[in-house]
Structure 1
């Protein structure tokens, strides 16, 4: 795979011309769909202790339009997807920007009143294999388009998904650009470097990934993937997801192993990390209780793409990623579905994470600790004119022993979301 994605774009235009010629095809029109999601998002980080800014606090309104065609008829079917994104400022100030909800001027720190973009994806299908070229929203352990802000992160590239064999899914892709959650411009793909973990500013124009999923039974999924951010890092992933009936409930095992090292010219410096984590949960009735542990082995922190979150045990935490050099993390999580007491649509979550043995001598020491207490309450309206309207409130209380220069600073964080998705057709 040595062809740049930009060179594949003329192929996409050829597909588009084919679509125009065959747009009367029943499959192309009849199997199309479109949805519009309105997302109201308030984010408030109240920093504790020494900090350049006392808070990061903004309120914004977003709209996400997703339109997807079916495929034209024939041995090779062609299709087209489009994604329109719009973010609107409701409240912001230069002294409390950088929530990643809104695009802002890095000099004046003034948030833009609005930002928008349009993404186009050309797709072709043969049998049970689909190739797409253009705007991508991958969701794999080695590359994930983060949905954790007002508008989702996106990538530009080519992506093949094949389900030709029963129980097996193959993934092959190349991305050459990324569009961050608070941006409208595509740029080179960077390496996340919070807390000064790696050489700053390292970027690449080629991210390759390949591998697959094997489901030997309905309750067991095995995943093996490799990713290469050219001249920065190579990463192998092994995952095991297993469900087993136990008593009156189900026991779930989620094991994830990432092995990472520098690649090529090592533009971000030395990378040597083995991340091993497991979450073990038991669900019975309306309850779910899980306990997990994650460890960092090697001389460096865990590497992942800038602008998102790592798909490790701590995925979903709001204020930090818990993948510093040498870090050991314990997690306890409890979920409850209030349908069990007659309130369908209402769910709650409590989680505690504790990390220790953090090796950050430039930020305070070689045996530092951090912790996060996370709470979430969500409600989905079940019927009536506002059916499927979602309310979600999250609170986090994050503390660490790192110096004030740390990217992740002790804070109390609040996030409030109101989402509504309308099916247009």
Structure 2
């Protein structure tokens, strides 16, 4: 009898201890749902194998983020469930990145879904994630620009234990594209035939961080290596300071890229130097930037991700061809200044020249893009926090007919609504 009481008492103690350990895991957990409606319409100009890439789809993204168990070492588990549903598409209009389609028949899927799990361990201000991870770094920026976000499979370490320093390191071996449900080997992006885009790699390694030098200045350095394809060094800084009645932001970015190991994708030899200056005065923000590529090749980046260069946000091209020089002007306006909070607008013009594409027309080619954007977030009432975003681009170049980037007029419309479950 005494023995059974001891066992029962020990069981109660163990259960109580477990509940204490799990308290942070449950109490600090969060769950958020994003409902996204996306219309993508890219109409190609002049003679082209495909007249348009045009699709309409509905997405659902559910993110669960746990807290950490109590103790010196905390454990947690995150989950992400995603669903995409076709509203309109056809075999002659695929390729928008919204929906997967058959490589043989080009028939788009009616729907696709996936679930990603992320284990995590935390000690002090250092966190290790493994499983499904997302990185938003200059050398690997997971694309959030379509119906469902793109993710990686691997291990990701983040630390803020050193004051003013944010450290990032990791190893990734697979990528899940934004219009896919399975993990694939890593490749280099190769539009316009820049590299051998079929070359695959089993490993992407990175290390670097951001250092807050002062309240105005942040310094950045990262190293990344796509095994047997390329390696890259990134150096940059962002400086924000008051100049007169407004604020001046100076954004400098430098990439140095070379081939790595067996160089499966071919030669890689590129330096990308860029500076973006923006001045904000009240509701107005005016920016001007210049980017120059030198070396024998284009700038490499992971296929399926977004290159984090100063032309980020352009819709039809990234302006990263061999020898390219580009300049841009950008104007942003917040309509809160005239009594319409939640409404914002943007105008941008980007022009690139000196492009070296011998197989697509020569060594002094040009491209340009004009962008217009309006976004609005409902501020109150039944539809509070519903976000509308409309983007239009006009893209032109003088490349040969085999180019990946072709003259087009593009329209994208997003309606997003995010809300917390708890």
TM-score (norm 1): 0.94
User: Where does residue 195 of structure 2 map in the other structure?
Assistant: 198
User: Where does residue 357 of structure 2 map in the other structure?
Assistant: 360
CA distance in 1, matches of 2:398, 2:226: 32
User: Where does residue 291 of structure 2 map in the other structure?
Assistant: 294
Mapped contact 1:23–1:29 kept (Cα < 8 A) = no
Map 1:181-192; keep pairs closer than 5 Å.
181-192=178-189
RMSD: 1.1
CA shift digits 1:22-66 (9 cap, x unpaired): 686221111000000000000000000121010000000001110
User: Where does residue 126 of structure 2 map in the other structure?
Assistant: 129
* Match for residue 156 of structure 2 among 138, 141, 159: 159
Q: CA deviation at 1:213?
A: 0.9
Mapped contact 1:22–1:72 kept (Cα < 8 A) = no
CA distance in 2, matches of 1:28, 1:112: 37
Map 1:12-411; keep pairs closer than 5 Å.
25-411=22-408
Q: CA deviation at 1:308?
A: 2.3
How many residues of Structure 1 are paired with residues of Structure 2 in the alignment?
Answer: 406
The structure whose Rg is larger is: 2
Ranges in structure 1 where 5+ consecutive residues have no aligned partner: 1-19
Which region of structure 1 is more displaced relative to structure 2, 393-402 or 212-221? 212-221
CA distance in 2, matches of 1:92, 1:24: 50
CA distance in 2, matches of 1:419, 1:58: 17
Consecutive aligned runs of 4 or more in structure 1 exceeding 4 Å deviation? 20-24
Which region of structure 1 is more displaced relative to structure 2, 379-388 or 390-399? 379-388
Q: CA deviation at 1:282?
A: 0.1
Over 3 Å counting, the alpha-carbon distance change for 1:48 and 1:75 in structure 2 is: same
3-state SS in 2 of match to 1:25: helix
Q: CA deviation at 1:385?
A: 2.0
Ranges in structure 2 where 5+ consecutive residues have no aligned partner: 1-16
Mapped contact 2:221–2:235 kept (Cα < 8 A) = yes
3-state SS in 2 of match to 1:319: coil
